[in-house]
Structure 1
Amino acid sequence: MTVSNSRKKIHFVSIHDAVKAGDVKQLAEIVESGININEVDVLHKFTPLQWAAHSGSLECLHWLLWHGADIKSVTPGGWTAAHIAAIRGQDACMQALIMNGADLSTQDDRGCTPTHLAATHGHSYTLQIMLRSGVDPNVSDKCDWKPVHYASFHGRLGCLQLLVKWGATLEDADQNGNLPVHFAAMEGHLYCFKFLLSRMSSVTQALKVFNDNGENAMDLAQRFFKDNILQFIQGTEFEGDNQNNQENLAFPGHAAAYKGDLEMLKKLVENGTININEHDDNESTLLHRAAGQGHIECLQWLIERGADVNITNKDGETAADTAKKFAHLSAVSLLAGLQKYEVEDHTEIDDQDMKFFERHGVEGSTDAKNELSQSEAEKRDARIRAHQKVVELRHLLEIAESNYKHLGGISEEDIKQKREDQESERMIKELQAQLEGERLRREKLEFQLDEFRAEVSHHRTPVDQIRLTSSVEDDSSDSNKDKRKVKKKVTSSGGVILRR
């Protein structure tokens, strides 16, 4: 109670401070007072939109975009707001920027796109949003480094897995002939090294490939004293045992969560090797794996670190559903109480129902820490404002569409309907033509059938006469035969003939 009561309203003089604090009301007041919406701050040379992407001020970012903030503005280093959102892992802000036309192919001074930067900093959710929007996973910077090179160099296993899933190639070299596997060996990122080998066409060949300096993966591991890589190469028959250990190599965090190995889980997450909300091939997270085995300590630690309990796998199950399926009741009670956004059947939005806005709505980015420190009441108020804006915009859209039609304009829906009508008419005409063709064909067949019937009738009369004549002759011959038989019978009776 003392914490909530101590929160006092702060008046911000700078537009950048208002954006960083997520105060959309003061942002609007400052802009209305005449401050330029694209004003650059003195120290960091960021615009308000770039600060919104940096701090995760999603509501402010939307407000700035709606009011004409320059989405293409760049810092002295060549970063757009999308670059900054990728660096900070602000996936909700990244989604908003993409929807408002952000160019994800823009390169900074080193040739890096937002995709490179998200892979560098290990923000797999942000990276996934960009990949889903259609960006090239094999784009190169000025040194021919692709996102997989950055992920391998910095040990970002989750991003590496995601890039491979979206078609990134692992056998393209940079301008010095280094493959991603060379960078993983050079930096001692064992899990990334194992994953890369498990996904390359030939493990033996991958270990033998030399860069432009004549060094292979083992040479680089020796030069940079990466004993873990050396021990793995020298002491493991990788190709022989790969089949049984494939999942452990590709998803070590999930394997640790499944086994309940909390120490390994902590090491992987805290070192930035994997993201705490990492997905495996079944879209399951670390929470799903730990919940399926009832590992309460792992679940508690993951929840404390900010793991999202609302993520579903390919089967549409949350971690709580997985725990329930395997009858881990303590895990169910732990997870079920944390789930949000569940909408009861026939629930309707009511502006006066505060509880609705308390239990619904995405809490912003998933990869980055919450820097805004907003209270639950402030988050609820932000959701209410956003909903009111939706209602307002829908009403304005209806009015604009009505005005447009009354002025003689043709809307996209009208054009679509007209095309559908034209297509229907075309199909009807084609069907009518086919029907007419079938009718003519039937008439022709009926005419031929009548001709055949007449010809058959013509040939049938002589045949009937022949049959009648033959039947008469047969009858007469039969009667003569009968008479002869009678005579024979009389003569053969044995009687005496008397003459008179």
Structure 2
Amino acid sequence: MLLLRNGGRVNQRDATGATPLAVAAEHGHFHVAEILLNCGSRVNSQALNGESVLLDAAGSGNTACIQLLLDNGADPNLASSGGQLPIHKAAYAGHYDALKMLIPLTNKKSIKEAGRSPVHSAAEGGHTRCLRLLLAHGFDVNYRMNNRNSENYRDSRRSALYFAVSNGDVECTKILLAGGAKTDLDPLCCLLVAVRSGRYDIVKLLLAAKANVNCFFTVVSDTVFPTALQYCLKDEVMMRLLLNNGYRVESCFLCHHDDHGFR
């Protein structure tokens, strides 16, 4: 109040384009945000990266701040330059109550344009309660990220299940599989990720969900040498697990580059 009374500009931006209201929202300072709004702060201002004040508030998880911003006209469907919405931020940070507030206010069109589901965000953050909440509200467990989002990751991942498996997150993997997650939606199959990481528990879950034990990773090679077996040549336990679940051993001796088949 002292600064404002002495000429402080309520919508002054810092080097990142954030306003004082955005800073207050990010740190969950309800009373400061209330003062700034009463003094004319723009509720839907965006920083240089497109992140809105409400998105910052969603990251803090302060439901009082979120409600204050919504009551003053904050748009829950205002996306950042990277396509992130407040609902994504809340899901990734595991702010259950904030997520519960934002679910009915976020429209499907905005999520489609973002090219990423909040299910991805909850799985990436490893938040089981948020995952269950989103699935209970009908969010598609098999929604695939668009190319723009997928290319941000070296492995070009697409599915929420991939996030859980690559994180070694057993509980999130269980929830997603129970919700009907498919195991083959990514360039590098989830089973191969789990085998390569030596995660027997997750491999067993994926195999129980009918993951293809004979899947290949052909992005970097056009051979048909069994990829999963290649990942566990020094792991007898993992190899036995794969073999006992129907691995086609004869494929080790086949090469489609040779007309005679066996070499």
Normalised by the size of structure 2, how large is the TM-score?
0.68
Which position in structure 2 is the counterpart of 1:166? Answer: 137
Which position in structure 2 is the counterpart of 1:496? Answer: none
CA distance in 2, matches of 1:190, 1:112: 26
Q: CA deviation at 1:70?
A: 0.8
Aligned 1:178-197 pairs, distance under 5 A: 178-197=158-177
Which position in structure 2 is the counterpart of 1:199? Answer: 179
CA distance in 2, matches of 1:38, 1:167: 39
Q: CA deviation at 1:129?
A: 1.2
- 2:69 is aligned with 1:89: no
Q: CA deviation at 1:90?
A: 1.8
**8 Å contact from structure 2 (residues 18, 48) kept in 1:** no
Q: Which amino acid aligns with 2:14?
A: D
Q: Which of 68, 77, 86 is equivalent to 1:105?
A: 77
CA deviations 1:283-324 (Å, max 9, x no partner) are xxxxxxxxxxxxxxxxxxxxxxxxxxxxxxxxxxxxxxxxxx
CA distance in 2, matches of 1:118, 1:221: 27
CA distance in 2, matches of 1:91, 1:116: 15
- 2:9 is aligned with 1:36: yes
**8 Å contact from structure 1 (residues 118, 126) kept in 2:** yes
Q: 1:191 to 1:141 in 2, by over 3 A?
A: farther
Which position in structure 1 is the counterpart of 2:125? Answer: 154
CA distance in 2, matches of 1:219, 1:198: 20
Aligned 1:30-429 pairs, distance under 5 A: 30-42=3-15, 45-132=17-104, 134-136=105-107, 139-140=111-112, 144-175=115-146, 178-200=158-180, 206-207=182-183, 209-211=184-186, 213=187, 215-234=188-207
CA distance in 2, matches of 1:109, 1:227: 39
Which position in structure 1 is the counterpart of 2:259? Answer: none
SS in 2 for 1:172: coil
SS in 1 for 2:78: coil
Q: CA deviation at 1:34?
A: 1.6
Normalised by the size of structure 1, how large is the TM-score?
0.37
CA distance in 2, matches of 1:60, 1:34: 17
SS in 1 for 2:79: coil
Structure 1, 223-232 or 80-89: larger mean CA deviation: 223-232
Q: CA RMSD in A?
A: 2.4
Q: CA deviation at 1:238?
A: 6.7
CA distance in 1, matches of 2:169, 2:112: 22
Which position in structure 2 is the counterpart of 1:482? Answer: none
CA distance in 2, matches of 1:169, 1:128: 17
CA distance in 2, matches of 1:164, 1:238: 18
CA deviations 1:441-474 (Å, max 9, x no partner) are xxxxxxxxxxxxxxxxxxxxxxxxxxxxxxxxxx
Where in structure 1 do 4 or more consecutive aligned residues deviate above 3 Å? 223-228, 231-234
CA distance in 2, matches of 1:238, 1:109: 37
CA distance in 2, matches of 1:178, 1:107: 20
Q: CA deviation at 1:137?
A: 6.2
CA deviations 1:53-91 (Å, max 9, x no partner) are 022211121121122111121112211111111112122
**8 Å contact from structure 2 (residues 165, 193) kept in 1:** yes
CA distance in 1, matches of 2:161, 2:14: 41
CA deviations 1:118-159 (Å, max 9, x no partner) are 111111111111124x213681465x2211012112212121
Q: 1:192 to 1:137 in 2, by over 3 A?
A: farther
CA distance in 2, matches of 1:210, 1:67: 50
Q: 1:210 to 1:84 in 2, by over 3 A?
A: closer
Q: CA deviation at 1:179?
A: 2.4
Larger Rg: 1
- How many residue pairs match? The answer is 200
Which position in structure 1 is the counterpart of 2:219? Answer: none
CA distance in 2, matches of 1:150, 1:31: 38
CA distance in 2, matches of 1:187, 1:141: 26
**8 Å contact from structure 2 (residues 144, 185) kept in 1:** no
CA deviations 1:195-253 (Å, max 9, x no partner) are 111121xx7xx34x342x2x43212212344343124345xx579xxxxxxxxxxxxxx
